[in-house]
Amino acid sequence: MTEINALSGPQLQPASGKPATAAVVLLHGYGSSGNDLIGLAPFFAQIVPESVFYSPNAPESWEGGMSGAYQWFGLSDFDPDLVRRDPKRMGATFNGMIEGARKAAPALNDYLDQILDHHNLEARRMVLLGFSQGTMMALHVGLRRKEQLAGILGFSGALVGTNLLNKELKTKPPVTLIHGEDDPVVPVQAMTEVKIALEAVDISVEAYAIPGLQHGIDGNGAQIGGAFLKAHLG
């Protein structure tokens, strides 16, 4: 049985008590950890009780210096206020993060492969769920894997390397995006840009803007996410 050691972090076994028939991998945001998103797993486990949940820590310690915090790649130069004031900068800003995503991708891909092998699952039985920078990684990796995943569920995120997607795209899993209308960190317009970019390469996308929500996941978003998991993992 394959050992899962490419990344570390908490996990939750299927609520059914039976061997997993599906897997959900939760990718945290910048300056956070797997302990953050694993808190969603008990809710989702009641909806897809035969799924195992993994919430890895990103491979780099957070450049902000807090112990126990991680990042998929550095964002010290990212200025959300500047992007919000001048939306025309958005594409270039997120495209400029492509090298960071590329550097983090091998460890994440190895981790996903280990999970699939460990539970003897096919790729079509795995969903990637990301928040913020975790959504960037879910989209970057999930659309470039050779075998198509069951889906990608992204909260409060963006797409890096939009200008390279058509050339690098390998599979087209269904995508659902959820974003707070009042997000001060990643402007909600980023979700619209992701939807446009994905639909341009014939990927099925649903997008939901949550009124009054800032940079986070609320009950409405969790309900939408649960319905997505139910639809694609059964």
Provide the annotated active-site residues.
Answer: 132, 183, 215
Alpha-carbon span 102 to 140, nearest angstrom: 8
Alpha-carbon span 198 to 25, nearest angstrom: 21
Residues in contact with 28: Cβ distance below 8 Å, sequence separation at least 6, in sequence order: 34, 36, 37, 55, 57, 58, 70, 131, 133, 134
Beta-sheet pairing, 60-61 with 22-27:
unpaired
Let me know if 84 is exposed, middle or buried by CB neighbors in 10 A (0-12, 13-18, 19+).
Answer: middle
Q: The sheet that has 151-155: what strands, in order across it?
A: 11-12, 51-54, 22-27, 126-131, 151-155, 175-180, 205-210
Amino acid at 73: F
Q: What is the dihedral of CA 91, 95, 97, 101, to 10 degrees?
A: 130
Alpha-carbon span 141 to 59, nearest angstrom: 15
Tokens describing residue 58: 């990103």
Is residue 179 helix, strand or coil?
A: strand
